[in-house]
A and B are shown apart, each in its own frame.
Chain A
Amino acid sequence: MASKHTLSREEQPQRWPLPPRRRPDLADFSRASLIAYLQTAPLDEVDISDPMYWETDTNSIYFKRLRDEAPVHFTTHNSDRHRGFWSVTRWADIMAVDTNHNVYSSDAHLGGITLFDMDQDFIMPMFIAMDPPKHDVQRKAVNPIVSGPNLASFEGLIRERTREVLDGLPRGEAFDWVDRVSIELTSRMLATLFDFPQEHRRKLTYWSDVSTSDAEIPGNPQKEERQAILMGMLQEFTLLWNQRVNEPPKGDLVSMLAHNPATRDMPPMEFMGNLVLLIVGGNDTTRNSTTGGVYEFSKNPGEWAKLRANPALVESAVSEIIRYQTPLAHMRRTALEDTILGGQRIRKGDKVVMWYSSGNRDERAIENPDAFIIDRPRARQHMSFGFGIHRCVGNRLAELQLKILWEEILARFESIEVLEEPERVPSAFVKGYKSMMVRLPA
């Protein structure tokens, strides 16, 4: 029986392949079965990092119970796979962890920022997985591209592309919104930010998916294959780097990294790490909120009617979509010293997982949190972007992209019919959609 603390690497070196995951003894793992199971299962028997709870969108049942019964809770079940982790599920406790970077580290060498440790044979330093002071100088190197005044210069381009993509959609027939809209728009934006060849933009989506994919899911690249794919990404970007470093500085991310004193001498793995960060940060998140919004409006026709009647609500609607989707379900920290959190004794070295997806549904912080309400009085107060020094640097760009998208949808479509339940990503980190079939009025 594992202790109620994270096992150290000495106690449990990183293994590959991971030992098999123990699952509950159920007749099947359908959504209905998992809902029934999670309603009454002993809290200690559930390993919520299991992708099946995310693919079936059943995890929120467990988090509601944790918030009420055990808001800072340690999971030992399957600890031979993840070494054991704390789940922090209430808004206030998440805020306490997120704002205390002196105690709760993001360092890649301690495992980084996701529940499952970063591959320690393939450490990619990136500023989200660094502590101050290095984090601060690298973040500042890319910050200007997503600051308010610079975003204004993107607005026309984003609107033009959004119109083009929406005008190109088929009418009166089924199509996949994820592929035709969500991926299309985010990959074009990302290619612009990097000044990466637009014709190869889907490579960015591919690299993003590979870098966050769970190697255990059938069809996903395994450890060595994943490393090789990311090395390929590094190669392509190194060509761009070499080109940009010999040109005068300009406004794209590669040029900014190549010319900024804080980043221009980065070793290759660190360049790769920061690329992964910026690609995932600009891709997975907005993509899934783009899909999630359509899904939530289809489930809440009254809210859609409200928005159509009053398009000025688009800004608060965007915040509500981002809260409701919570495109990154969690961020993880590692305790640098013994401390107390929510009455629980956290020990140095423990993994502490902040479940933003749960904090965003915490009744103690948000009124009627399970309802999708586009005109909440303080819609901006959600935790999908995280808080503290690692707060999402691209949040304003994400909001701008989504605002323009919904303005242009309102101008075109009286409804978007969701034809069946979307296929969700099996991941406790990226909370998103693989596909969602929809139909526009003919």
Chain B
Amino acid sequence: MAHVTYIEFNGTPHTVDVADGVSLMEGALQNGVPGIDGDCGGNAACATCHVYVADGWMGKIGERSESEEAMLDLADGLQENSRLACQIFASDGLEGLVVSMPESQH
């Protein structure tokens, strides 16, 4: 399990527990965190769970897959620390992870 903090575009933080093996997209939806839609249900197929990963965490959450890369490439506001939350899975090693949301999901 990990405590994950999601920061809305307007700066509002939401810290929730995400169980081991559950994606950060699911964690947001299950806990009613606004700003993440997850339209495709977790297949890296829509880019509506786009998040920016806080400094220092990129090396701990695995790599983008080819399909995630393809979707992020077409997303608004792509940055080096952009990830799809449905492709990041909680574990003890991610305790304290912080991600922030773009202005809107598209």
Contact = CB atoms under 8 A, between A and B. Distances in A.
A120 to B, nearest CB: 28
Given A143-B76, A380-B38, A380-B39, A99 B104 contact: no
A99 B74 contact: no
Interface residues on A, range: 20 to 34
B74 A136 contact: yes
B104 A140 contact: no
A101 B71 CA distance: 12
B104 A396 contact: yes
A154 interface: no
Contacts of A387: 40, 43, 45-46
B95 interface: no
Nearest to B102: A148
Interface residues of B, number: 22
B42 to A, nearest CB: 10
SS of B interface (majority): loop
A138 to B, nearest CB: 11
B67 interface: yes
B40 A389 contact: no
Interface string B24-48: 0000010000000111110111111
Interface string A375-390: 0001011100101110
A95 B44 CA distance: 10
A148 B104 contact: yes
A98 interface: yes
Contacts of A147: 76, 104, 106
A132 B105 CA distance: 22
A225 B44 CA distance: 42
Nearest to B29: A378
A391 B75 CA distance: 11
Contacts of A396: 104, 106
Contacts of A391: 45-47
A144 B103 CA distance: 13
Interface string B68-103: 001101101000000000000000000000000001
Contacts of A19: none
A389 B106 contact: no
Nearest to B41: A381
Q: Which of B46, B76, B104 has the most CB of A within 10 A?
A: B46
A433 B63 CA distance: 46
A139 interface: yes
A389 B66 CA distance: 12
B34 to A, nearest CB: 12
A229 to B, nearest CB: 32
A95 B43 contact: yes
Contact of B73 (A95, A136, A146, A382): A136
Given A99-B45, A149-B104, A380-B37, A132 B70 contact: yes
Contacts of A378: 29, 38, 41
Nearest to B48: A380
Contacts of B29: 378
Contacts of B70: 101, 132, 388-389
A148 to B, nearest CB: 3
A136 B73 CA distance: 8
Interface string A44-69: 00000000000000000000000000
B73 to A, nearest CB: 6
A144 B43 CA distance: 24
A381 B40 contact: yes
B103 to A, nearest CB: 6
B30 to A, nearest CB: 10
A380 B46 CA distance: 11
A95 B40 contact: yes
Nearest to A377: B29
Contacts of A381: 38-41
Contacts of B40: 95, 381, 387
B94 to A, nearest CB: 24
A140 B74 contact: yes
Interface string A72-115: 00000000000000000000000100110100000000000000
Nearest to B66: A102
A98 B38 CA distance: 17
B106 A99 contact: no
Given A147-B76, A388-B67, A389-B71, 12 more contacts: A95-B40, A99-B43, A143-B74, A144-B76, A147-B104, A148-B104, A149-B104, A378-B41, A380-B37, A380-B38, A381-B38, A388-B71
Interface of B: 29, 37-41, 43-48, 67, 70-71, 73-74, 76, 103-106
14 contacts: A99-B43, A99-B45, A136-B73, A140-B74, A143-B76, A148-B104, A365-B41, A378-B38, A380-B37, A381-B38, A382-B39, A385-B46, A389-B71, A396-B104
Give the top 5 A-B pairs by smallest Cβ distance, nearest first: A148-B104, A387-B45, A147-B76, A99-B45, A380-B39
